[in-house]
Amino acid sequence: MITHAFIFARGGSKGLPGKNIMPLLGKPLIQYSIEVALKTIGIEKVFVSTDDADIATVAQSNGAIVIDRPIELAQDNSPEWLAWKHAINWVKEQYGDFNEFVSLPVTSPLRSVKDVESAILRRSNIGADICIAITPANRSPYFNMVKKLSDNSIELVNEAENKIFRRQDAPEVFDITTVVYVADVEFIMNNGNIFDGTVASVEIPKCRAVDIDDIYDFKFAEVILKNNFEKD
């Protein structure tokens, strides 16, 4: 089994411009993902796919191999799955075949090495096509999430067969996080969506499941790191 890690970092970001190399407690944001990848047992090489020269420089200085991402795969509406396929093809051409693909998005700097290793092991043990990270959701479609109807009234997103009056009685639901994705290479190349195959998961505590999209997320991550909150 040959496993490589990939970090996808576009130069453009409308929610938080320049976030991928914005300093978080003195380190560029992308450095957190690279460092975890380099420390994870079983990962052989770490690649950063980017269209941005500054991101490429930071990535190389931290030990990653840079993949030049085409402009058409670095737009706001570019499907990340296509960037995955491009990166896989590039690595195969440059370094030969490999079996397992690990994506560590820049936006989850609080992940641990243990999170990544657990996802790799989980996929292997179950024989799943892909393993994703999840965390307990704050809201439930069975209890306190609603949708608007055509007459402007609202109803629950999911109506349970029996009425639910307490959150504790609702089915447990989770948010997908960007902490880690571990997939079979051939599954990615032959499909177009995470849920096209068998999906396994690892549960991540909320303190490590922060997904940075805007300045508020960034400041929240900063607070967690500064206070060195318990991670397990």
Encode the chain (232 residues) as per-residue pLDDT tens digits: 899 999 999 887 666 778 899 999 999 999 999 999 999 999 999 999 999 999 999 999 999 999 999 888 887 778 889 999 999 999 999 999 999 999 999 999 999 999 999 999 999 999 999 999 999 988 777 777 888 888 888 888 877 666 665 666 677 889 999 999 999 999 999 999 999 999 999 999 998 999 998 899 999 999 998 887 544 4
Element (H, E) at 217: helix 215-227
Of 83, 92, 104, 82, nearest to 192 by C-alpha is 82
Q: What is the DSSP string of 88-135?
A: HHHHHHHH---SEEEE--TT-TT--HHHHHHHHHHHHHHT-SEEEEEE
Structure tokens at 187: 């599954």
The Cα–Cα gap between 145 and 171 comes to 13
